[in-house]
Structure 1
Amino acid sequence: MTSSASSASSSSSFPFEFVADPGQDRELLDRLGFISGLKEVLTIRQVHALEHATVWVLEEMAGAENDGSRGDRLGGMSTETGFYLYGPVNSERLRRAVQIALHRLTRGEWDLAVHPRCGTNLSVGMLMAGGLAVGMSWLLPKGPVEQLLGLGMAAAVATQLSPDLGQLAQRYVTTAIPFNLRVVEVSATRDWWERPAHFVRVEWID
């Protein structure tokens, strides 16, 4: 899931090198295909990366054309059949952006798969804050002042660490380079509140 966009280069600082293997997901399916839902999970990870890359490309297009479009008005949600893109965007521009994003991802621009406003970052931050808060509650005296200080420390540490850890989670857990995806169609639709949206339908290829 994504909202907003800025610069893909901000996602490139990781503590160890990332190398994508084009045959990794295919090999997993060959060996573990008997596991129910495995293909759907692998597909969603690849769709998630394509969603992020598409938002990056749309932002780059808007900046290059200086048309005043705002990437921070876009949001996305990935499924096993494609992804929704919420917000005002021209359908033809989106079609071009998806194909460019897929091409760039599979040709080595792997940083496009990671997005700083992805919901993964928020989830990691909430888990960190909750875990640290529980830990502080156990470790510190039970007085109200000490407990409040503990909560503040937990929130501060989580705020500091969650962006980097969230990007790591995206890189290695919630996204995968879409070597096995083909874009089928891009169709205009509406969200629950009747605001403009699009659905990018994909299919798995071997």
Structure 2
Amino acid sequence: MSILNWTPVARMRRNHALEHATLQVLAERHPHLMAAGYSDTRGFWIVGNLSTEEVYEAVEQALARLNAGEYRLAIHPNCGTNFAAAGFFAGTVGWLASLNMGRDLRSRLERWSVIVPLVTLALILAAPLGPLLQQRITTAPPHGLRVVEITRQVQGDLIAHRILTQG
């Protein structure tokens, strides 16, 4: 059995897909909306200045569209998976380029002109990897997933909605 099919991981992947799709639906309705999401095994959070009704409608539409085959909604351009993939490759290339670097300032500055283009190239090459990782590893179609509760929490200026799922 693959770890991706282990019940807690599979639930988180389905919730992650629905979180992304919900954010995409909200972005279609509010193009300049500042919002974020976070998924776990019980559901996900949507953080942003939104009414509970707006969140409920977006979640329901996102789930319906995903179940109808619109899986592109599950791949989000601002997902942490994209940033982690880019950071991993850029950091690794930067580290490799710094091996055997002298300890004096002059040798470090000379190596800088090599490190910056290599890290830039790593970021460019890593760009398509994040969405691929989302598609194959960090999200999954939400088959059988249903929303059981949406609650609103406010702390100062921060508004968050907790979406609990089952299935």
Taking structure 2 as the reference length, what is the TM-score of the superposition? 0.87
Please, which runs of 5 or more residues in structure 2 have no aligned partner?
none
Q: Is the CA contact (8 Å cut-off) linking 1:133 and 1:150 kept in structure 2?
A: no
Q: Which amino acid aligns with 1:133?
A: G
CA distance in 2, matches of 1:189, 1:161: 40
Q: What is the identity percentage for the equivalent residue pairs of Structure 1 and Structure 2? A: 35
Corresponding residue of 2:95: 134
Corresponding residue of 2:142: 178
1:96 deviates by 1.0
Q: Is the CA contact (8 Å cut-off) linking 1:95 and 1:186 kept in structure 2?
A: yes
1:135 deviates by 2.3
Q: Find out whether 1:168 has 2:132 as its counterpart.
A: yes
Secondary structure at 2:119 match in 1: helix
Corresponding residue of 2:112: 148
Corresponding residue of 1:117: 78
CA distance in 2, matches of 1:202, 1:156: 40
Q: After superposing the two structures, state which structure 1 stretch, 160-169 or 144-153, moved more.
A: 144-153
Taking structure 1 as the reference length, what is the TM-score of the superposition? 0.72
What do residues 120-145 of structure 1 show as CA deviations (whole Å, max 9, x unaligned)?
A: 1111111011111122234x864323
Q: Which amino acid aligns with 1:190?
A: V
Q: 2:14 aligns with which of 11, 30, 46?
A: 46
- Counterpart mapping for 1:90-101 below 5 A: 90-101=51-62
1:107 deviates by 1.1
CA distance in 2, matches of 1:41, 1:146: 45
Q: 1:85 aligns with which of 46, 50, 60?
A: 46
Secondary structure at 2:147 match in 1: strand
Question: CA RMSD for the aligned pairs?
Answer: 2.2
1:194 deviates by 5.6
Please, which runs of 5 or more residues in structure 1 have no aligned partner?
1-31, 64-69
